[in-house]
Amino acid sequence: MKKNQKFILECADCKHLHRKSFKWLENTHHFICDGCDTELDIDEIVDEIYDKPEQERFKIYPR
């Protein structure tokens, strides 16, 4: 998997879509949804991307 590969993250609360690179996800510790201002769980989504690198869209849940 390339570090600059982009993934689409969908907020589980408001369905807002975020397009982020894997490198950005690995380096951030705090992520707030632009649509509903909910803090989202980055650690869980990074693990899921490691498990399914071919998938491009992931649902991200509140912390």
pLDDT in tens, 20-57: 999 999 899 889 999 999 999 998 998 999 899 899 99
What is the rounded distance in angstroms from the CA atom of residue 62 to the CA atom of residue 29?
13
- Of the candidates 14, 9, 12, 15, the one whose C-alpha atom is nearest the C-alpha of residue 28 is 9
Ranges of each domain in the chain: 6-60
Give the mean model confidence (pLDDT) for residues 3-24: 94
Reading phi first (left if > 0) and then psi (alpha if -120 to 50, else beta), residue 23 is in alpha
Q: Please state, as a whole number, how many other Cβ atoms lie within 10 Å of the Cβ of residue 60.
A: 25
H/E run at residue 25: helix 22-27
The pTM of this model reads 0.86
